[in-house]
Amino acid sequence: MVNRRANRLRMVWAAVWVALLGCTPIADAADGHRVGFSSVIASGVPVSGMLASGGITDNSVSFPSWDKIFRALTLRDYNTRIVVIGATLLGAAAGVIGTFAYLRKRAMLGDALSHATLPGIAIAFMVVGHKNLGWLLFGAAVSGTLGVLAVIGMRRVSRIREDAAIGIVLSVFFGIGMVLFSIIQQMNTGGESGLQSFIYGKAAAMLHRDAMLIGGTAFAVIACCAVMFKEFRLVCFDQTFASSMGRPVFWIDVLMMGLVVLTTVTGLQAVGLIMIVALLIIPAAAARFWTDSLLLMTVIAGGIGAFSGWMGSVLSALLPRLPTGAIIVISTGVVFAFSMIFSPHRGVLAGVYRRWSLSHRVAHQNLLRALAECEEDLAAEVAIPIADVHAKRFWSRRHLDRLIARGSRLGLVSQIGPNTLKLTETGRRESRRILRNHRLWELYLIRYADIAPSHVDRDADEIEHVLAGDVVEELERELEQESTIPPSPHKADESRSKGVPA
Amino acid sequence: MSGRFAGSKIEARNDDHDAESPLSIHDMTVAYHRKPVLWDIDFTATGGRLIGVVGPNGAGKSTLIKACLDLVPRASGSVRFYGKSYRQQRGIVGYVPQRESVDWDFPASALDVVTMGRYGRIPWCLPPRKRDKYAALECLDQVGMADYAHRQISKLSGGQQQRVFLARALAQDAQIYFMDEPFAGVDAATEAAIVVLLRALSAKNRTVLVVHHDLQTVPDYFDDVVLLNMRIVAAGPTEKVFTAENLHKTYGGRLTLLDKAAQAVAGAGAR
């Protein structure tokens, strides 16, 4: 009984994950057979043990038990711990160096770079004859750098644009790599199957010393960024100024791109070359939503990258058949989407709220001004027939009713009969202030911008709601106005010479 | 002639230059993609003067500044600051690039940007010190922007951004300043602030070279003027040089022959 419930829970958990991953792992699971590398995990978790749980067939993703999840999350197994720490550090390093690449507008160069590593990996494997991580990464670094140089070179010698150059280099290098990979498979030397993890990423394929290498590199990259922070900031913001000051912009760029190469290459095995560029761009882009300070942005991007690396490697340890790269990228994507929507200053919701609150303010200020004009017409502080207000504006009756309801909630107007309303004391003060701003702006437009009095009402309408106190003071000085409400300039024919005291 | 544009440089001997002058340019020609944009520029600045550089669009005003600061390669000729090359005199030269040359959405405050002017004095790999911050704040105050020190630069108006750039140049504490269109698209308050600043620099015997667009204000703002249209049409004290005749030579009638020759050189070099 208990067992069945646990099983059902596991199925729910599975459904959540499949939904989250958009079913990607299933499609990729066919590769799972060839990626026999998981047996090297050496985490004491035999693959067959994982498959045994639940009624899930051999060819799909298998889901671990609660115990295993708990052990992975708390880093109980030594090897899981090494892998998770390595991937987390890698994510942090990618986030940090990615921030500078992003601000230098070089992030997509990282994509050309990562795809261009593939031929190097293949050639290194052919030459060395077995999977030696050091040599593979060396090959990756060499051909990746060649790819970057190809992009830069194409831009130098021809008029081709950077995006096109990146697209060309990316696809051609990747194509060469795929051809070499198929040759390797035909050679059938054995042991080549693990090479796939460089394309799709597989954190669990890391050996102890691989993880140490990745962790060490990541640490070095972060340290380098910390030391070069000032120079990187200068070059990213204003390279012309930097070189006018005698900073060797070219070499600073080389160092920056070198760190990107280092991060990309060491991260290949965990994230895969297709998706590692996301780890460079997305944390930086997400972090930008939360801060206006470069230092904080770097730290936040590093944090997001670290979180994603941790998430990806833990899941990879639990579910060896899931492509780690995809999980890491999805984690960053979720963080990015959250940031874009909910960021308090630059977020989408914040923008919607700002527009919404401005339009509300405009609407109720318009009501108050209409009321002030009615009082002016009646030349008395008396109850105003709603019909009069209606005549001032093209409002529907329903809209007007809503405005009045909100005005009375705010204590600015009070409806004293079915068809009459009155300004409260606060409402009157506010309404006169608004009317006065409107008139001042109208006068200013007529006098200084040569706008015809008949057109001025509409123009002033847009502006009066956003006039700040100091601008109003300046207007007063320009127009030499006392603190009265000037008469309406476009109603001059109605001979209303006396101003209403404010 | 073709050898010059193919990249071989003819450096002038030092005695072509006046060692007393803050800026002397000798026989400088500059080409972009082999197309010459400045021809045979000879110019010697007098110290402590405000110098306006005016000329039509595409006359090579910005290029003149960039070539002086080694930001674009010179096809020929040489530039000296107090008789020494730019490389030796970097510390005494300040630069205000065009405002549009950077992305103002960069995550930095006004103070961060102005502090960059001090980077030349901070050793590599070390963060700015307290006194650099205070120096930067003082420069911000000089351009009337002290209240905005901690505001993100994209939230500043165009004029305020321009003042931040000027403050950054002030933080360089240079002897000679190059300013690329500091008056472009600024409000009246900023224009006035910049003029006050230029006068203050001139009073401290600093030399300032300003690329300028508004001909009307030239006589008010500048002691000297350089009329430029691919070559120097006239240069010298404003009251002597800034004449209708010279302006007509600078602006009136495209220099069709010079332009055609430039196109031909570019065409000959094209693949």
Q: What mean pLDDT value characterizes chain B?
A: 87
Say what the pLDDT of residue A258 is: 93
Which of A61-70, A254-263, A368-377, B248-257 tops mean pLDDT?
Answer: A254-263
Using CA atoms, how far apart are residues A41 and A52, in angstroms rounded to an integer?
A: 18
Say what the pLDDT of residue B202 is: 93
Q: What percentage of chain B has pLDDT greater than the value 70?
A: 87
Q: Which of A9-13, A95-99, A217-221, A438-442 has the lowest mean pLDDT?
A: A9-13
Mean pLDDT of A155-179: 92
Using CA atoms, how far apart are residues B72 and B30, in angstroms rounded to an integer?
A: 8
Mean pLDDT of A413-421: 83
Mean pLDDT of B152-158: 92
Integer Rg of chain B from CA: 19
- Give residue for tokens 């110290």: B47
Residue type for A458, please? R
Mean pLDDT of A359-381: 84
The yes-or-no verdict on residue B132 having pLDDT over 70 is: yes
Q: How confident is the model at residue A174 (pLDDT cuts 50, 70, 90)?
A: very high
Mean pLDDT of B94-103: 93
The yes-or-no verdict on residue A206 having pLDDT over 60 is: yes
Say what the pLDDT of residue B261 is: 63
Using CA atoms, how far apart are residues B32 and B73, in angstroms rounded to an integer?
A: 9
Check CB contact under 8 Å for B120 and A291.
no
> Could you count the other beta carbons within 10 Å of the beta carbon of residue A67?
9
Q: Which of A201-205, B61-65, B150-154 has the lowest mean pLDDT?
A: A201-205
Using CA atoms, how far apart are residues A67 and B155, in angstroms rounded to an integer?
A: 52
The yes-or-no verdict on residue A47 having pLDDT over 50 is: no
The minimal CB distance from A243 to the residues B71, B109, B122 is found for B71
Instruction: Please tell me which residue, A131 or A28, carries the higher pLDDT value.
Output: A131
Burial A298-312 (b: 16+ CB within 10 A, else e): bbbbbbbbbbbbbbb
Mean pLDDT of A87-113: 93
The yes-or-no verdict on residue A496 having pLDDT over 60 is: no
Structure tokens at A179: 């051809």
CA A415, distance to chain mean position in Å, is: 48
Integer Rg of chain A from CA: 33
Mean pLDDT of B175-194: 90
Chain A residues close to B90, C-beta within 8 Å:
245-246
The yes-or-no verdict on residue A97 having pLDDT over 90 is: yes
Q: How confident is the model at residue A469 (pLDDT cuts 50, 70, 90)?
A: low
Q: Which of A45-54, A195-204, A341-350, A483-492 has the lowest mean pLDDT?
A: A45-54
Q: Is B181 left (phi over 0), alpha (psi -120 to 50) or beta?
A: left
Helix (H) or strand (E) holding A273: none
Query: At A474, is the secondary structure helix, strand, or coil?
Result: helix
Using CA atoms, how far apart are residues A248 and A234, in angstroms rounded to an integer?
A: 11
The yes-or-no verdict on residue A52 having pLDDT over 50 is: no
**Contact predicate B241/B67, CB 8 Å:** no
CA A250, distance to chain mean position in Å, is: 29
A57 phi, psi to nearest 5 deg: -75, 165
Domains and CATH numbers, chain A: 67-340 (1.10.3470.10), 347-502 (1.10.10.10)
Say what the pLDDT of residue B189 is: 84
Using CA atoms, how far apart are residues A310 and A90, in angstroms rounded to an integer?
A: 9
Q: What percentage of chain A has pLDDT greater than the value 70?
A: 81
Say what the pLDDT of residue B266 is: 66
Strands B35-44 and B24-32, sheet pairing:
antiparallel
pTM of the model: 0.80
Q: What is the 3-state secondary structure (H, E, C) of A162-213?
A: HHHHHHHHHHHHHHHHHHHHHHHHHHCCCCHHHHHHHHHCCHHHCCHHHHHH
The yes-or-no verdict on residue A501 having pLDDT over 50 is: no
Q: How confident is the model at residue A253 (pLDDT cuts 50, 70, 90)?
A: very high
What distance in Å separates residue A103's CA from the closest CA in chain B? 7
Those residues with Cβ within 8 angstroms of residue B177's Cβ, 6 or more apart along the chain or in another chain: B93, B94, B95, B96, B169, B201, B206, B207, B208, B209
Say what the pLDDT of residue A31 is: 39
**What length is written for chain A?**
502
What distance in Å separates residue B239's CA from the closest CA in chain A? 32
**Contact predicate A306/A107, CB 8 Å:** no
Strands B224-229 and B176-180, sheet pairing:
unpaired
Q: Which residues, listed in sequence order, are joined to residue A384 by a DSSP beta bridge? A: A421
What distance in Å separates residue A437's CA from the closest CA in chain B? 23
Say what the pLDDT of residue B94 is: 93
* Closest residue in chain B to residue A289, using alpha carbons only: B107
The yes-or-no verdict on residue A40 having pLDDT over 70 is: no
Query: At B89, is the secondary structure helix, strand, or coil?
Result: helix
Taking only the tens place, the pLDDT of each residue in A450-462 is 777 777 776 667 6
Mean pLDDT of A426-440: 86
Q: What mean pLDDT value characterizes chain A?
A: 80
Using CA atoms, how far apart are residues A48 and A21, in angstroms rounded to an integer?
A: 23
Q: Which of A15-24, A78-87, A92-101, A425-434 has the lowest mean pLDDT?
A: A15-24
What distance in Å separates residue A331's CA from the closest CA in chain B? 24
Mean pLDDT of A176-196: 81
- Give residue for tokens 């998770």: A84
Helix (H) or strand (E) holding B207: strand B207-211
Q: How confident is the model at residue A54 (pLDDT cuts 50, 70, 90)?
A: very low
Chain B residues close to A103, C-beta within 8 Å:
106-107
Using CA atoms, how far apart are residues B4 and A297, in angstroms rounded to an integer?
A: 48
Say what the pLDDT of residue A412 is: 87
Say what the pLDDT of residue A41 is: 35
> Could you count the other beta carbons within 10 Å of the beta carbon of residue A401?
13
Taking only the tens place, the pLDDT of each residue in A299-340 is 999 999 999 988 888 887 787 777 777 888 888 999 999 999
Say what the pLDDT of residue B253 is: 60
Check CB contact under 8 Å for A294 and B112.
yes
Helix (H) or strand (E) holding A268: helix A249-271
The minimal CB distance from B124 to the residues A231, A241, A244 is found for A231
Q: How confident is the model at residue B227 (pLDDT cuts 50, 70, 90)?
A: very high
Structure tokens at A115: 């795809």
**Please, which residues 105-124 of chain B have a Cβ atom closer than 8 Å to chain A?**
106-109, 112-113, 116, 119-120, 122, 124
Order across the sheet with B24-32: list the strands. Answer: B35-44, B24-32, B74-80
Q: Roughly what angle, to the nearest 10 degrees, separates helices A249-271 and A276-288?
A: 120
Taking only the tens place, the pLDDT of each residue in A273-286 is 888 899 999 999 99
**What length is written for chain B?**
271
Residue type for A363, please? A
Say what the pLDDT of residue A23 is: 38
C-alpha dist (Å) from residue B69 to A265, A497, B115, B121 = 38, 64, 21, 18
Q: Roughly what angle, to the nearest 10 degrees, separates helices A208-227 and A229-237?
A: 70
Check CB contact under 8 Å for A230 and B93.
no
C-alpha distance across the termini of chain A, in Å: 80
